[in-house]
Amino acid sequence: MTASKPDQQTPAEAEDDKALFYEAVKGARPVKVDRILHPAKKPKPIPRQLIRDEKQALIDSLSDHYIPAYELESGEELLYLREGQSPVVLSKLRRGHWVVQAHIDLHGLISDEARRTVSEFIADCKKRGLRCVRIVHGKGLGSRNKEPVLKHKLRNWLMQKDEVIAYAQARAHDGGSGAVIVLLKA
């Protein structure tokens, strides 16, 4: 045989190539499926314990016994501005400069439930990129002493969260003394 290109083969050379091919594959059997199916990859395991541990760490990170170095309280009105922030931020927050993007209501929750709810809410808002949120804590009219329990605890919890830049008592149409507007880091 001469080394010629397939399109330049003589009929005899083409017939020899065909015979060689059939000789090479004579014992082969046709594949019964038209494609090979690979087994599906197993999904990665869900780290359930890690998720539980992270949730518990969030809850534990808020203490009822936190005493801030300074507070911007005027009477019963809740006000807070993280150190290093401009007072203009607090002024804008009090006037409703930012639109409330999400809110939660803590009515009827005991302290531990409220702490967990606030912690999870703030973490969720941070993940979603929300900046301004409202937390309704109630006025305490349903408590034993007719005094707000969650209001004061919420103040301390929020001061402990790095995500919180400032908070102020909500305006009357947003809940007044029974709610707080919180500004979160971007």
Q: Name the token pair of 146.
A: 């007719």
Q: Name the token pair of 5.
A: 């290109």
Is 8 among the domain residues? Answer: no
Q: Which of 8-12, 99-103, 147-151 has the highest mean pLDDT?
A: 99-103
Residue 65 pLDDT: 54
> Would the pLDDT of 89 be above 80?
yes
CA–CA separation, 158 and 183 (whole Å): 10
Give the residue with greater pLDDT, 141 vs 17. Answer: 17
Average pLDDT over residues 154-171: 90
For 130, residues 6+ apart whose C-beta sits below 8 A from its C-beta are 101, 102, 184
Is 148 among the domain residues? Answer: yes
Is 34 among the domain residues? Answer: no
Is 38 among the domain residues? Answer: no
Average pLDDT over residues 149-175: 88
- Provide the domain limits for residue 81: 72-184
Q: Is 54 helix (H, G, I), strand (E, B) or coil?
A: helix
Domains identified in the chain, total number:
1
Task: Give, as one character, the DSSP assignment of residue 98.
Answer: S
pLDDT tens, 29-72? 877 766 667 778 888 888 888 888 777 776 666 655 555 544 44
Q: Is 104 helix (H, G, I), strand (E, B) or coil?
A: strand
Give the residue with greater pLDDT, 27 vs 132. Answer: 132
**Confidence class of residue 155 from pLDDT cuts 50, 70 and 90?**
confident
Q: Shortest CA distance to 78 belongs to which of 167, 172, 176, 171?
A: 167
Q: Shortest CA distance to 122 belongs to which of 49, 50, 62?
A: 62
Give the residue with greater pLDDT, 141 vs 155. Answer: 155
- pTM score of the predicted model: 0.60
Is 31 among the domain residues? Answer: no
Is 93 among the domain residues? Answer: yes
- Does the CA dihedral 14-17-23-26 come out positive or negative? negative
Q: What is the CATH number of the domain that holds 154?
A: 3.30.1370.110
Is 127 among the domain residues? Answer: yes
Q: Shortest CA distance to 180 belongs to which of 111, 75, 105?
A: 105
